[in-house]
């Protein structure tokens, strides 16, 4: 009877709670690598952003339990609404003790804001707020009131970054040499971010015809390989890229801190690969774009990157100031993938036109040869052709 009750609870997550295996990790992007459908994701993620929410939704968890507030009120983040729209129950602000009291792989039950453990799943270990469309709407409205403060902080971070990295931004000082040739070529920079799967799908014909240099930024390298495309370079701090992508033959550029520390360097070297090191402040996607621009890229097409003010704030970190300035630096070359998919039209080359004409003539010849009247026309055409050849020979 107990088993029957648990099954009913698991089958009706919005009525009697969710029963599933707990996956516990303070880093959401690490947790999603091992999250399975029906599992309960236990995270500690202040202000769940769009990328994190979409990554969770893609794994189809039974529920998400967040130790931190999913919306703190700093700005109107989009993640909680995405989870609820996908039908994923979200329990918010249960406290950081849940990260210790719930063990990885343990069976848990989530019911109306409470988390239960034990053999009978009746031992309550945490309690928070079960989010609904109404509570998320209220939180978003309150967060909009604090948006001006976030804009001021964003502007201050931007000026600070400009002071520290003006030589890199203005003159390209510190950009390392790489083997991959980009001069005069188009470059596709792929970040595992906003709608990257859809953008890569729409760009397949563009990639086939223009053959751009493809740079994967951390997990974006795996996205490129998953899409069946050729990867030319991997750029990042190597915290979310697979060994498969690192060992695929692409050139590796490790993003290091300004003081020279590079946490991902040893990991790459353990694979027997000697990478290029690029010390710079800011995000790895900025490093990839600055590198492409410095090496003479004709056009930089961005997939999954941050393009709007809402996306900058939704990322929720000071480093996004570098992203804003990087786009100002390379603005004349940068095109968002969505713009390419809207403006791009398949080119028809001269050899394709010639092949079409030849096929048409061949089809016409077969059609004429298959009928008596057609054979008479071909015979007359052949006789005229012989007369023309004889006349030309007579001239010489």
CATH code (residue 83):
3.50.30.10
Q: What is the pLDDT at residue 142?
A: 83
Task: Give the mean model confidence (pLDDT) for residues 59-81.
Answer: 91
Mean pLDDT of 169-189: 88
- Same-domain status, 366 and 338: no
Same domain assignment for residues 228 and 339: yes
- Of 22, 8, 45, 19, the C-alpha closest to 111 is 19
**What is d(CA 144, CA 70) in angstroms, rounded to the nearest whole number?**
15
- Whether residue 6 has pLDDT greater than 50: no
State the CB neighbour count (10 A cutoff) for residue 274.
9
- Of 143, 167, 194, the position where a domain reaches its end is 143
Q: Say whether both 304 and 358 belong to one domain.
A: no
Range of the structural domain that residue 244 is part of:
147-343
246 and 318 both lie in a single domain: yes
| For residues 366-394, average pLDDT | 68
Distance between CA 97 and CA 92 in Å, rounded?
13
Q: Specify whether the CB–CB gap between 61 and 35 falls below 8 A.
A: yes
Which of 20-24, 138-142, 330-334 holds the top average pLDDT?
Answer: 20-24
- Are 284 and 221 in the same domain? yes
Closest CA to 333 of 377, 371, 289: 289
Residue 180 has a CB neighbour count (10 Å cut-off) of 18
* Same domain, residue pair 151 and 90: no
Q: Are residues 335 and 354 in the same domain?
A: no
Provide the pLDDT confidence category of residue 272 given band limits of 50, 70 and 90.
Answer: very high
Q: Select from 126, 143, 160 the last residue of a domain.
A: 143
Rounded mean pLDDT, 210-215? 95
The secondary structure of residue 177, as a DSSP letter, is P
Mean pLDDT of the 351-376 span: 70
In our burial notation (b when 16+ CB lie closer than 10 A, e otherwise), range 105-114 reads eeebbbbebb
- Say if residue 158 is in the same domain as residue 274: yes
How far is Cα 179 from Cα 233, in angstroms, rounded to an integer?
10
Residue 105 shares a structural domain with residue 198: no
User: Of the ranges 26-35, 118-127, 363-372, which one carries the lowest mean pLDDT score?
Assistant: 363-372
Q: Looking at residue 342, what is its pLDDT?
A: 55
Which residues have C-beta within 8 Å of that of residue 285, sequence separation ≥ 6?
189, 191, 217, 302, 305, 306, 323
Question: Does 196 share its domain with 320?
Answer: yes
Q: What is the mean pLDDT of residues 13-28?
A: 80
Which of 83 and 382 is assigned the larger pLDDT?
Answer: 83
Residue that terminates a domain, selected from 99, 119, 143? 143
Q: How many domains does the chain have?
A: 3
Q: What is the pLDDT of residue 136?
A: 93
On whether both 361 and 384 belong to a single domain, the answer is: yes
Q: 56 and 130: one domain?
A: yes
Report the SS3 class of residue 78: coil
Across all residues in the chain, what is the average pLDDT? 82
Task: Report the pLDDT value the prediction gives residue 354, as an integer from 0 to 100.
Answer: 74
CA distances from 74 to 52, 77, 146, 317 (A): 17, 8, 6, 11
């Amino acid at each position: 009877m107990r088993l029957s009750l648990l099954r009913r609870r698991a089958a009706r997550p919005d009525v009697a709670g969710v029963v599933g295996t707990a996956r516990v990790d303070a880093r959401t992007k690490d947790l999603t690598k091992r999250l399975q459908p029906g599992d309960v994701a236990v995270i500690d993620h202040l202000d769940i952003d769009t990328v994190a929410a979409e990554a969770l939704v893609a794994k189809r968890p039974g529920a998400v339990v967040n130790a931190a507030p999913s919306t703190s009120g700093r700005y109107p983040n989009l993640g909680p609404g995405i989870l609820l729209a996908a039908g994923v129950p979200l329990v918010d602000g249960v406290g950081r003790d849940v990260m210790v009291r719930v063990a990885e792989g343990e069976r848990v039950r989530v019911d109306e804001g409470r988390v239960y453990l034990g053999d009978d799943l009746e031992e309550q270990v945490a309690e928070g707020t079960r989010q609904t469309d109404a509570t998320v709407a209220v939180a978003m409205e309150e967060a909009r009131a604090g948006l001006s403060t976030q804009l001021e902080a964003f502007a201050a971070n931007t000026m600070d970054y400009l002071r520290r990295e003006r030589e890199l931004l203005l003159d390209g000082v510190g950009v390392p040499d790489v083997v991959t040739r980009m001069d005069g070529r188009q470059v596709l920079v792929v970040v595992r971010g906003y709608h990257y799967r859809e953008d890569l799908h729409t760009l397949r014909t563009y990639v086939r015809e223009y053959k751009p240099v493809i740079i994967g930024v951390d997990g974006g390298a795996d996205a490129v390989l998953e899409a069946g495309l050729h990867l030319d370079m991997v750029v990042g701090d190597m915290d979310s890229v697979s060994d498969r992508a690192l060992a695929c033959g692409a050139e590796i550029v490790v993003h290091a801190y300004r003081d020279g520390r590079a946490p991902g360097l040893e990991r790459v070297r353990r694979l027997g690969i000697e990478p290029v090191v690029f010390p710079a402040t800011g995000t790895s996607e900025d490093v990839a774009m600055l590198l492409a621009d410095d090496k003479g890229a004709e056009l930089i097409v961005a997939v999954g990157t941050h393009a709007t003010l809402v996306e900058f704030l939704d990322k929720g970190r000071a480093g996004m100031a570098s992203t804003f300035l990087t786009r100002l630096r390379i603005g004349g070359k940068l095109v968002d993938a969505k713009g390419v998919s809207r403006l791009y039209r398949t080119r028809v080359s001269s050899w394709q036109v010639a092949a079409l004409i030849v096929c048409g003539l061949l089809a016409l010849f077969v059609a004429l040869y298959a009928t008596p009247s057609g054979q008479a026309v071909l015979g007359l055409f052949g006789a005229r052709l012989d007369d023309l050849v004889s006349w030309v020979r007579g001239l010489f």
